[in-house]
Chains A and B, each alone.
Chain A
Amino acid sequence: MTTVQERSPMPQEREPNPAMTAADRPIGYGRVQRKEDPRFIRGKGRYLDDIVLPGMLHGAVLRSPMAHARLVSIDTTEALAHPKVHAVITGKDLEGLNLAWAPTLSADTMAVLATDKVRFQGQEVAFVVAEDRYSARDALELIDVEYEQLPVVIDARRALEPGTAVIRDDKDGQTDNHIFDWEAGDKAETEAVFARADVVVSEDVVYPRVHPAPMETCGAIADYDPIDGKLTLYETTQAPHAHRTLYAMVAGIPEHKIRVIAGDIGGGFGNKVGIYPGYICAVVGSIVTGKPVKWVEDRSENLMSTSFARDYLMRGEIAATKDGKILAVRTHVLADHGAFNATAQPTKYPAGFFSIFTGSYDLEAAYCSVTGVYTNKAPGGVAYACSFRVTEAVYLVERMVDVLAQRLEMDPAELRLKNFIRPEQFPYKNKTGWEYDSGDYEPALRMCMEQIGYADLRQEQAEKRARGELMGIGVSFFTETVGAGPRKHFDIVGLGMADGAEVRVHPTGKAVVRLSVQTQGQGHETTFAQIVAEELGIPPEDIEVVHGDTDQTPFGLGTYGSRSTPVSGGAVALAARKVRDKAKAIAAAMLETRPEDLEWEKGRFFVKGDPSAAKTISEIALGAHGTVALPEGVDGNLDAEVTYDPPNLTFPFGAYICVVDIDAGTGKVKVRRFVAVDDCGTRINPMIVEGQIHGGLADGVGMALMEFIGFDEQGNCLGGSFMDYLIPTALEVPDWELGATVTPSPHHPIGAKGIGESATVGSPPAVVNAVVDALAPFGVTHMDMPCTPARVWAAMQGRATPPI
């Protein structure tokens, strides 16, 4: 396996980027401008709310102001009397259709519209359909709901205490707020290692509730045609096919009569994986009124009711020798899943892939146990570029390694270098059952240290400390597990995590590739064209990428958990190779030779030893569809379809170092520099890869310093608008400095590992480690996110408290 190292140029070093002519553009991998950009920069994207259908009505959701209350009565008379209102739908109406409750993605149920109780603030209570957006909102005010308040459960630590209100009394046999217990690793073996370790450090580490908050909120337009019984559903979705299947299962509409269309999506980050009550209400609204119904949530609805992320309360422990050999990691997690267990994750993995908390280190033992509980908060839990809870796992281990370094008075980078899994140990089987496909960790961390000037920074820090100035250097090193399947291990509500792709080369040599995955800004139209281009030698601009329409694309589970390139990328590459094999047989017929006498060079087959006897892929395409006498068993096209079931996950990794300065007078943290060295295997379009990393780094700074969904004791959401839920602007983030190593995945058709979530996973610990490092002179060993000025100030006074 090769490891290539390269540093991406700093902006000031870069050549001016002259507009590339078609002739300069790589046919295959490389930096190419995106095919989707020309429409976006002209304002011609087609996002959900841009779609207007003839006769379309508008829906609005009435939401609960209370976190836990019994529904006594709902009076819709006045709302129905509003001249522009066409329908008002309540939970009772849905009960009649058997739609008041719907299955979640975690084998639980969720209320579509409340029938018995409301269980979190912002829960859906009624749905109004009116002629325009403003009237639908006006009518919400005219609905009269009587609630009888119930005791709320907000602190997950108290959710299981005897006598606590039972949130899910709708479930047969549910007598408390317990959802699941899950464990990984060997408990006894881990205990034994801890018992003989020289040093054990432990810390309570909270990863607070945050929200993906894509700039476009969630929404749907349902258009039910009563004559042919067909439902067309425009949605903000990351998983159109999975949605179609679920609607068929839930609503009883046959699957072939449902078409899910996802147009341009204004960011997703996991927020657009699930099916929300508003979507189902839009469908019912369209069936009831006979007209298309659009529902788009506002920002408060998005932040208060749709899929949150994290909310993990972790006890972390590390056992080590006194000279810094890490022996074991152990953790117990209390997972707050909100009122309905609606996290999108594989059935056998209720804590997602959290068991990758063993990190990048060669351990003797590891064990985790996770307990999931219900609280009176919005449901969700796997979102915000978290790679199925890898982000919580990485944060825990990377925070704990720093706690250990501080205890041992060792440099945190040195401690990591000492404990890395070594290159010759790959494929590496960790203590919780993962098989890491490939890795070469030390060069990545060394590159990162060199690029940021680690030794000089430590020197500067020492000088500043002597002057009483607060500067911190935070190191983090992550290994992710992404790209699920294999389908035999990983499913979403019973659907195996595989993805289909179809490649067709038209008679003139232009091509179309159809995908099951769904871009939300990642540039699939460009990247997937480049994969086909690399395999077939057809220029990317001659390849149309079709996605986001279940009537036009093969089945597959969609885009989340960084799975588009690892899974769909594999499918596309293999489909293109099938096309190439077929092209070879046809070229042999055209050249009157045997296939084994042909050799491939990008874009053409030629006769070995006679390069002038050749057929280009265009000529072969014309031959395939023309009058050439085709060889036995070869039909007249250049098409292929593949459903790719990956043999294993992929394990991207990276080394991040962050430098912060803290204002000793106010506690305000300023991120001065951030160097990120990522290894995601083969890079198809380095420009897009770097863009994905940049976005994730900003997420990390946001979570570490400001993003937080909190609640008061009554269960009022305190992060329900962008005035309260703070997202970094251009002023809070530095200019990112990137580096790269390339360690391809040995089992993946093109060696690619997936990059969509790496930086969101890897950056929060780098920032928090830097903050704690800066605060070390105050005796701080840990502080929880978000590191807001007030909380940093409290930590400086010896009062570092958890945010919840």
Chain B
Amino acid sequence: MQVTMTVNGTEVTRDVEPRLLLVHFLRETLGLTGTHWGCDTSNCGTCVVLVDGEPVKSCTQLAAMTAGHEVRTVEGMAAGGTLDPVQQGFMEEHGLQCGFCTPGMMLTARALLDRNPDPDEGEIREAISGQICRCTGYATIVRSIQWAAAHPAAETTDQEVRA
């Protein structure tokens, strides 16, 4: 069957098996391997992407169900060569080790900050609690997100200029 969706701002149309999971559509059909998979039971969250701005486990959704929606993956985080503050934060605060959970963690963080620009520690922990990191023990991920909240970065410069 044919599906059409917007991925990182570009509309894509592909012929797929009806049973194809979104995670495999992104990784294998489109070659966007920054989205990972790590379990069979929707528990790990390494596959998280944003669908219409909300974090979604892409292993729990068919590509077909995503037709007509907007998907954002880690490859779409940096805009025009400028890192998302969340990406910068993860580097600053050592929020990653093996990097496997990182794309999903960063996208959840982006969605959180879009909704709540100044989350407290509890809100951050709650937001990422559907995702597992086996390397960092989470504290540095929390700090990375706090860093991003404290450095809303490039977009603000743009607004300041307009103001």
How far is A459 from B74 in the complex, measured between Cα atoms in Å?
49
A731 within 8 A of B: yes
Quick check: B100 and A216 within 8 Å, CB to CB? yes
A41 within 8 A of B: yes
Quick check: B96 and A299 within 8 Å, CB to CB? no
- Point out the residues of chain A lying under 8 angstroms from B142, CB to CB: 730, 735
Residue of A nearest to B92 (CB): A17
How far is A730 from B94 in the complex, measured between Cα atoms in Å?
16
Task: Classify the secondary structure of B's interface with A.
Answer: loop
List which B113-163 residues lie within 8 A (CB) of chain A.
121, 124-126, 128-143, 146-147, 150
Residue of A nearest to B127 (CB): A730
How far is A687 from B96 in the complex, measured between Cα atoms in Å?
11
A42-B78, A691-B94 given; A731·B73 CB < 8 A:
no
How far is A46 from B33 in the complex, measured between Cα atoms in Å?
8
Quick check: B132 and A729 within 8 Å, CB to CB? yes
How far is A269 from B135 in the complex, measured between Cα atoms in Å?
9
Query: Looking at the complex, which one of A43, A521, A522, A722 makes contact with B32 (CB distance below 8 Å)?
Result: A43
Quick check: B74 and A43 within 8 Å, CB to CB? yes
- Point out the residues of chain A lying under 8 angstroms from B138, CB to CB: 694, 698, 729-730, 733
Stretch among A32-40, A318-326, A327-335, A370-378 lining the B interface: A32-40
Residue of B nearest to A727 (CB): B132
A570 within 8 A of B: no
A265 within 8 A of B: yes
A697-B137, A721-B39 given; A267·B94 CB < 8 A:
no
CB distance from B17 to the nearest CB of A (A): 7
A41-B91, A723-B41, A730-B128 given; A694·B137 CB < 8 A:
yes
Quick check: B73 and A43 within 8 Å, CB to CB? yes
Q: A42-B77, A215-B100, A696-B137 are in contact. List 18 more A-B contacts (CB 8 A).
A: A41-B74, A41-B83, A42-B34, A43-B73, A45-B99, A46-B33, A134-B19, A215-B38, A216-B38, A266-B99, A299-B40, A694-B138, A695-B97, A721-B39, A722-B39, A723-B41, A729-B128, A730-B142
- Point out the residues of chain B lying under 8 angstroms from A521, CB to CB: 97-100, 135
- Point out the residues of chain A lying under 8 angstroms from B146, CB to CB: 11
How far is A520 from B96 in the complex, measured between Cα atoms in Å?
12
- Point out the residues of chain A lying under 8 angstroms from B128, CB to CB: 729-730
- Point out the residues of chain B lying under 8 angstroms from A695, CB to CB: 97, 134-137
A17-B93, A41-B90, A694-B139 given; A214·B98 CB < 8 A:
yes
Quick check: B75 and A722 within 8 Å, CB to CB? no
A contact set with B: CB distance below 8 Å: 11, 16-17, 19, 33-34, 36-47, 49-50, 52, 133-134, 213-217, 264-267, 269, 298-300, 520-523, 687-688, 690-691, 694-698, 721-723, 727, 729-731, 733, 735-736
Quick check: B137 and A215 within 8 Å, CB to CB? no
Residue of A nearest to B87 (CB): A41
Residue of A nearest to B99 (CB): A40
- Point out the residues of chain A lying under 8 angstroms from B40, CB to CB: 298-300, 721
Residue of B nearest to A39 (CB): B99
A43-B103, A521-B97, A691-B97 given; A215·B36 CB < 8 A:
yes
Contact with A along B3-46 (1 / 0, CB 8 A): 00000000000000101100010011001111111111101101
Quick check: A267 and B98 within 8 Å, CB to CB? yes
How far is A764 from B148 in the complex, measured between Cα atoms in Å?
33
Query: Looking at the complex, which one of B24, B98, B133 makes contact with A520 (CB distance below 8 Å)?
Result: B98
Quick check: A736 and B83 within 8 Å, CB to CB? no
CB distance from B50 to the nearest CB of A (A): 13
Quick check: A299 and B39 within 8 Å, CB to CB? yes
B58 within 8 A of A: no
How far is A49 from B28 in the complex, measured between Cα atoms in Å?
10
Quick check: B36 and A266 within 8 Å, CB to CB? yes
**Max chain B C-beta neighbours (<10 A), residue from A39, A44, A45, A690:** A45
Residue of B nearest to A38 (CB): B91
**Max chain B C-beta neighbours (<10 A), residue from A41, A269, A688:** A41
Quick check: A215 and B43 within 8 Å, CB to CB? no
**Max chain A C-beta neighbours (<10 A), residue from B19, B77, B94, B136:** B94
How far is A338 from B138 in the complex, measured between Cα atoms in Å?
33
Query: Looking at the complex, which one of B34, B124, B141 makes contact with A43 (CB distance below 8 Å)?
Result: B34
**Max chain A C-beta neighbours (<10 A), residue from B35, B134, B136, B141:** B134
Quick check: A216 and B36 within 8 Å, CB to CB? yes
Residue of B nearest to A724 (CB): B41
A264-B99, A266-B36 given; A729·B94 CB < 8 A:
no
- Point out the residues of chain A lying under 8 angstroms from B48, CB to CB: none
- Point out the residues of chain B lying under 8 angstroms from A41, CB to CB: 74, 83, 87, 90-91, 96, 99, 102, 106
Task: Classify the secondary structure of A's interface with B.
Answer: loop
B63 within 8 A of A: no
Q: Total number of A-B contacts with CB less than 8 angstroms?
A: 180
List 24 A-B pairs, Cβ < 8 Å: A37-B91, A41-B90, A41-B91, A41-B99, A41-B106, A42-B34, A42-B74, A43-B34, A46-B33, A49-B37, A215-B98, A216-B98, A216-B100, A266-B99, A299-B39, A299-B41, A691-B94, A691-B140, A694-B138, A721-B41, A727-B134, A730-B126, A730-B141, A731-B126
A521-B97, A721-B41 given; A729·B74 CB < 8 A:
no
- Point out the residues of chain A lying under 8 angstroms from B141, CB to CB: 730
A37-B96, A723-B41 given; A215·B140 CB < 8 A:
no
How far is A468 from B22 in the complex, measured between Cα atoms in Å?
52
B71 within 8 A of A: no
Quick check: B38 and A33 within 8 Å, CB to CB? no
A17-B147, A19-B92, A33-B92 given; A42·B100 CB < 8 A:
no
How far is A43 from B43 in the complex, measured between Cα atoms in Å?
21
Query: Looking at the complex, which one of B31, B75, B98, B140 makes contact with A264 (CB distance below 8 Å)?
Result: B98
CB distance from B120 to the nearest CB of A (A): 12
How far is A298 from B46 in the complex, measured between Cα atoms in Å?
14
- Point out the residues of chain B lying under 8 angstroms from A11, CB to CB: 139, 143, 146
How far is A694 from B97 in the complex, measured between Cα atoms in Å?
11
Residue of A nearest to B133 (CB): A215
B101 within 8 A of A: yes
How far is A299 from B39 in the complex, measured between Cα atoms in Å?
5
How far is A298 from B47 in the complex, measured between Cα atoms in Å?
14
The 9 lowest CB-CB distance pairs between A and B, nearest first, are: A43-B34, A521-B98, A40-B99, A266-B100, A694-B137, A43-B74, A722-B43, A698-B137, A521-B97
How far is A313 from B59 in the complex, measured between Cα atoms in Å?
39
Quick check: A213 and B99 within 8 Å, CB to CB? no
Quick check: A736 and B91 within 8 Å, CB to CB? no
- Point out the residues of chain A lying under 8 angstroms from B34, CB to CB: 42-45
Residue of B nearest to A522 (CB): B97
CB distance from A349 to the nearest CB of B (A): 27
Quick check: A42 and B39 within 8 Å, CB to CB? no
How far is A139 from B53 in the complex, measured between Cα atoms in Å?
38
- Point out the residues of chain A lying under 8 angstroms from B31, CB to CB: 52
How far is A387 from B130 in the complex, measured between Cα atoms in Å?
30
Quick check: B136 and A694 within 8 Å, CB to CB? yes
Query: Looking at the complex, which one of A43, A688, A729 makes contact with B33 (CB distance below 8 Å)?
Result: A43
**Max chain B C-beta neighbours (<10 A), residue from A36, A47, A729:** A729
CB distance from A207 to the nearest CB of B (A): 20
CB distance from A547 to the nearest CB of B (A): 14
- Point out the residues of chain B lying under 8 angstroms from A34, CB to CB: 91, 94
Quick check: B130 and A691 within 8 Å, CB to CB? no
A37-B91, A299-B39, A722-B39 given; A213·B96 CB < 8 A:
no
- Point out the residues of chain A lying under 8 angstroms from B100, CB to CB: 45, 47, 214-216, 266-267, 521
A41-B83, A43-B103, A691-B136 given; A215·B143 CB < 8 A:
no
How far is A698 from B136 in the complex, measured between Cα atoms in Å?
8
How far is A529 from B143 in the complex, measured between Cα atoms in Å?
26
How far is A280 from B75 in the complex, measured between Cα atoms in Å?
34
How far is A729 from B129 in the complex, measured between Cα atoms in Å?
5
CB distance from A719 to the nearest CB of B (A): 12
- Point out the residues of chain B lying under 8 angstroms from A264, CB to CB: 98-99
- Point out the residues of chain A lying under 8 angstroms from B28, CB to CB: 52, 133
A42-B78, A298-B40, A300-B40 given; A36·B129 CB < 8 A:
no
